[in-house]
A and B are shown apart, each in its own frame.
Chain A
Amino acid sequence: MNITLDLIKEGQKVKVIDIYGGWGIRQRLGCLGIHPGDMITVKKSAIMRGPILISIHGNQVALGRGVARKVLVEVAG
């Protein structure tokens, strides 16, 4: 099932399917190692629709909620 990254619960591991949004956001996420096909673990989700903290290739990245909404993922298993 494909949903956007902002809806994923803490501790879940997902696979990136696609990144919506323009050139800038695709490139920025790509630079941090987030491309279609990569595995992401959601580690923290801030309150009041704040940012989420993900783990990607052994690195932690904070994504604003609006950014996370642009990442389409597939829940593994």
Chain B
Amino acid sequence: MRIALMGQPNSGKSTIFNHVAGYKAVTSNFPGKTVEYTLTKFNLFGQTVELVDLPGTYSLTSFDLAELEARKYLLKGNVDVIINVMDASLLSRSLELTLQLLELKLPMVICLNMIDEAERKGIKIDIEKLSKILGVPVVPAIALKGKGVKELFSVAYKTGEEKRIGKTLNFSKNVEEVIEQLSTQIKKKEIAQEFNVPIRFLALKYLENDSYFIKNFKNTEKNIFNKINYFQNLLREVHGRPPDVVISSERHHLSMNIYESIVSLTRPHTSLIDYLDNILMHPIFGYVFLAFILYLFFNLVFTVGKMVEEHLLDYFYRIIPLIERSIDSETLLFSVISGIIQGLAGGIAIVLPYLFPFLFGLAILEDLGYLPRIAFLLDVFLHKIGLHGKAIIPFMLGYGCTVPAIMATRILESERDRFITSVLATMIPCAARMTIIFALVAFYINPQAALAIYILNIIVVIISGKILSRLLPEVTPGMILEIPTYHIPSLKVVLAKTWLRMKEFIFVAWPLLIAGSTILSLLQYYKADTFINNFFSPLTTLLGLPLLVGTTLIFGILRKELSMLMLIQAIGTSNIATVMSVTQIMTFTIFIIFYIPCVATIAVLWREIGTKRTLFTISFTFVIAIVLATITRFIY
């Protein structure tokens, strides 16, 4: 059996999914974090059940790529039962999607999630009545605490077995007449079978002018499209509004009627958290707090990271001489062993101490629901570079890792915005590059210099944004973004998320790191590194860097943090200050931050924006890196 989690953004689908799958799908408190579907298999009543977590979608008329993905998946027709996750505190709005899902005539169960939040808002729901009106089972739940999840799946299983389909609710009479007449016309053709959807659903989509269903048939089925036009005009004339508004208003009224018949309102309980927006979204203090929060975050990462790095590095300093005593340092064996140890040390002592507090802090900000607030505050500034507020979400995620940041551009409506945001997101220093900034610049120069790099980075992003939006002049569609209620982050979820993201480093980057440092040891042993370094000498000379930096740049394309760790190994000491000057450290870091995105990023760029634009991004960032690093060399 295959069960699909469907529902509006931020209703808790991924949270339910993770109860079954373990923490596999990233959850956060902002609409649209799931942009791809995730699958898991689990055992239910002795049967293997496949559960799919679909991206949130406001309606079945889809706009952005993530929503489209959810709809496409449902229409593929191999879902046995839908779990429609509704945010109980946003009941009336969620009902509108529910009505559309009912039109698909698939077995469905409703999960009334965040029932506690609804009660806090003073919304009491008659669950039985709702189930009766819609003809589908309704299960209340608090997914964050795992309440009701078990029952939900057993009800879903039963519904899937019985193939129980809900009711189709009727709109007002004259609209129904139009739907019926159009349905009769569609029935004559085989369009509905081709899309694998019920005829009524298709008729509604045509009246709503949904381009997805129209595109391919417009030319081949001229006859029927003339009829569609006729009925659209009929609705327009009778109601004095565009036909899509007529249909969505019908759904809206129906939802409001259902809402009013099943909800009894009591006084909401206000808590301190409701007043948080008074300061965090304040026209002036909002910005002060934003700066303060980010500064605090920066300091936390640095303080924790530095403390741990110093201790661990001391410890590793002592190991190598110990080995030197028992194995001759001129042998191949020594080269290999010291390579492995340096790879290990780099991961434990240099990368992890910064990575953990950073990802932990980011997870807290995400789960609290602060990211959409940042989008609100910075919308004005993003308009100056031709984007709008929502683009801040990919950017913020970019400080964690560029790959999910580029994926997150799917929440943007226009292709141009997605492209510009993707290019800019590759320049945001991800956690890997953050470790370089902290472990090299903040550690060996000073924290202010590290902060300066971040500020310089933002300036470069702004200027690049301006250039790109000049090249692609088009008006951004403007921000429409839901600002969710704050949630107090759960420590368990925050840790699980941090771990999920650290796993990427531990299981992918670290082995690569150890392999890389072993290879470098071998290269050095056989003196092959000289060849590579000579090849890169024009570049390293231009930037005024030591020749041996050349090899490390190749590793940096694999993983950004590799270039730093390889640097440490190449110069043969973890005390970089003895070999490189302050200027060289700064130049190296700035070059590494901007030059060519890592392999994983290139792969995802390729998929999301295509070959030509990926090549453009690579050359664009490379030029910026060279220019900036050369300037740094001479002025810092």
Contact = CB atoms under 8 A, between A and B. Distances in A.
B376 A46 contact: yes
B180 interface: no
Nearest to A37: B249
B171 interface: no
Interface string A14-27: 00000100011111
Given A23-B209, A28-B480, A53-B483, A62 B241 contact: no
Contact of A64 (B245, B372, B478): B478
Given A60-B482, A62-B481, A64-B478, A36 B245 contact: yes
Contacts of B89: 58
A30 B63 CA distance: 13
Contacts of A19: 245
Contacts of A9: none
A63 B244 contact: no
Interface hub of A30, A31, A57 (most chain B Cβ within 10 A): A31
B337 interface: no
Contact of A62 (B58, B244, B375, B477): B375
B284 interface: yes
B433 interface: no
A67 B479 contact: yes
A29 B480 CA distance: 8
Nearest to A29: B480
A58 B252 CA distance: 15
Given A27-B244, A51-B389, A62-B389, A57 B92 contact: yes
A24 B477 contact: yes
Given A36-B241, A63-B480, A44 B380 contact: no
B306 interface: no
A32 B93 contact: yes
A47 B283 contact: yes
Interface hub of B58, B92, B93 (most chain A Cβ within 10 A): B93
Contacts of B241: 36
Given A61-B481, A62-B376, A24 B242 contact: no
Contacts of A45: 283
Contact of A66 (B92, B242, B478): B478
Interface string B365-394: 000000010011101100100001100000
A63 B479 contact: yes
B281 interface: yes
Nearest to A57: B92
B480 A47 contact: no
Interface in B27-71: 58-59, 61, 63
Given A47-B284, A62-B481, A27 B380 contact: no
B59 A50 contact: no
A33 B283 CA distance: 25
Nearest to A68: B478
Given A46-B380, A62-B376, A30 B481 contact: no
A33 B89 CA distance: 14
A62 B284 contact: no
Contacts of A31: 58-59, 61, 93, 96
Nearest to B378: A50
B283 A27 contact: no
The contact size tier of chain A is: 35 or more
A35 interface: yes
Interface string B467-507: 00000000101111111110000000000000000000000
A50 to B, nearest CB: 4
B558 interface: no
Nearest to A33: B93
B482 A32 contact: yes
A29 B93 CA distance: 11
Nearest to A24: B63
Contacts of B2: none
B249 A35 contact: yes
A32 to B, nearest CB: 6
Contact of B90 (A26, A46, A51, A58): A58
B518 to A, nearest CB: 51
Contacts of B209: 23
Interface in B344-360: none
B119 interface: no
A27 B480 contact: no
B608 interface: no
A39 to B, nearest CB: 12
Interface hub of A28, A58, A63 (most chain B Cβ within 10 A): A58
Contact of A46 (B379, B478, B484): B379
Nearest to B59: A31
Interface hub of A50, A57, A61, A67 (most chain B Cβ within 10 A): A50
Contacts of B184: none
A76 interface: no
Interface hub of B96, B377, B389, B479 (most chain A Cβ within 10 A): B479
Given A28-B480, A35-B245, A59-B90, A47 B380 contact: yes
Contacts of A32: 58, 93, 480, 482
Contacts of B376: 44, 46, 50-51, 53, 62
Given A60-B277, A60-B483, 16 more contacts: A23-B242, A25-B478, A26-B248, A27-B208, A28-B58, A35-B252, A38-B252, A44-B282, A44-B376, A50-B376, A50-B377, A53-B376, A53-B483, A59-B90, A64-B478, A67-B478
CB-CB nearest 9 A-B residue pairs:
A31-B58, A64-B479, A64-B478, A50-B380, A60-B483, A66-B478, A67-B478, A30-B248, A51-B379
21 contacts: A24-B63, A24-B413, A25-B478, A26-B244, A27-B63, A28-B58, A30-B248, A31-B93, A44-B376, A50-B376, A50-B379, A53-B277, A53-B376, A57-B90, A58-B90, A59-B482, A62-B372, A62-B481, A62-B483, A65-B478, A67-B479
Interface of A: 19, 23-33, 35-38, 43-51, 53, 57-67
Interface of B: 58-59, 61, 63, 89-90, 92-93, 96, 121, 123, 208-209, 241-242, 244-245, 248-249, 252, 277, 281-284, 372, 375-377, 379-380, 383, 388-389, 413, 475, 477-485
